[in-house]
């Protein structure tokens, strides 16, 4: 694909909004390094999220809470280098927008200026509407995230499905409408009943991106490491693994170790050689009497 065709097909926020109007499904995957972002981008995925899930999938933390702004920025920069077409979105990590709106705007500006992000995502509904409006007024596209919000794991008491009662469903509807009213261009619906997600999708003018919210959302997002079977964690009900890289990579490493131990790697074809004349000269030099 040449540069001109890449430019024409570039996914932007207006393109995502148009998908909703046309009833076209939207695809999103996480990526947090150059090779993964490049593969996801070349596969034609619409949006790439540098999600705070990297705290667990890449950095080995127990939850998303510990990951820092600097750690997120490091991975954002790496992913940016691999992306040509997809819309690049960066998660605001826990602590990046909880002290003040000014703090959140400053972090988001860094994500756009230093990391190359084209939008940011933050968790929370009505209580984040003012911040979303502030970001949008600053020229920073914002995506909302409601339902099961992993950064609130201590408040929620675990990774539990949300919106199971009529009262809770009404609260999520109010959250979604507040985010839309504040100018969010899309909202992630995580861990909620399919029926509720369908209602929210019909009621909103902006796209809904589901993860554990059923098939009726405008789009779907998965964590890349879950998609390829490389998460080292029990698989959630909504995760469909399309590959088993954990076992493939483990076998590759074990195979390499065995070949080295047995002297099978590297072989002669995998080794560099002198030209024949130089080799003969060297051998003569080594056999010459001292």
Positions marked catalytic: 190
Residue 122 Cα distances to 17, 18, 107, 127, 284, angstroms: 18, 22, 12, 11, 71
Yes or no: say if 203 and 173 are a contact pair by the CB < 8 Å rule: yes
Neighbours of 104 (CB within 10 A): 24
The count of residues in the chain is 290
- CA–CA distance, 99 with 20 (Å, rounded to integer): 34
Q: Which among 184, 88, 179 has a CA at the least distance from the CA of 136?
A: 184
Question: Residues 35-44: contacts with CB within 8 Å, 24+ apart?
Answer: 35/82, 36/79, 36/82, 36/224, 37/78, 37/79, 37/80, 37/81, 37/82, 37/83, 38/82, 38/83, 39/82, 40/86, 40/224, 41/82, 41/83, 41/84, 41/85, 41/86, 44/85
Q: Are 135 and 142 in contact (CB under 8 A)?
A: yes
What percent of the residues of the chain are helix, what percent strand, and what percent coil, each to the nearest 5?
45, 15, 40
Dist CA 27 CA 19 (whole Å): 11
């Amino acid at each position: 694909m040449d540069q001109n065709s890449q430019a024409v097909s570039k996914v932007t926020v207006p393109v995502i909004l148009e998908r909703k109007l046309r009833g076209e499904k939207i695809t999103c995957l996480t990526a947090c390094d150059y090779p993964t972002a490049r593969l996801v981008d070349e596969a034609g995925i619409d949006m790439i999220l540098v999600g705070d899930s990297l705290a667990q999938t890449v950095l080995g933390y127990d939850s998303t809470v510990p990951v820092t702004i600097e750690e997120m920025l490091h991975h954002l920069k790496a992913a940016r280098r691999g992306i040509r077409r997809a819309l690049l979105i960066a998660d605001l990590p826990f602590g990046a927008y909880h002290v003040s709106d000014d703090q959140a705007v400053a972090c988001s500006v860094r994500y756009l200026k230093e990391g190359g992000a084209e939008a940011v995502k933050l968790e929370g509904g009505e209580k984040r509407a003012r911040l979303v409006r502030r970001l949008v007024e600053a020229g920073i596209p914002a995506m909302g995230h409601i339902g099961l919000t992993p950064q609130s794991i201590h408040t929620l008491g675990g990774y539990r499905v949300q919106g199971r009662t009529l009262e809770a469903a009404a609260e999520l509807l109010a959250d979604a409408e507040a985010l839309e009213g504040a100018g969010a261009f899309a909202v992630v619906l995580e861990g909620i009943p399919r029926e509720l997600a369908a209602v929210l999708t019909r009621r909103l003018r902006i796209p809904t991106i589901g993860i554990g919210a059923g098939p009726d959302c405008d789009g779907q997002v998965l964590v890349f490491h879950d998609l390829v079977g490389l998460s080292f964690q029990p698989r959630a009900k909504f995760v469909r693994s399309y590959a088993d890289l954990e076992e493939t990579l483990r076998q590759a490493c074990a195979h390499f170790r065995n070949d080295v131990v047995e002297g099978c790697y590297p072989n002669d074809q995998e080794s560099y050689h002198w030209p024949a004349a130089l080799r003969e000269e060297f051998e003569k030099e080594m056999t010459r009497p001292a």
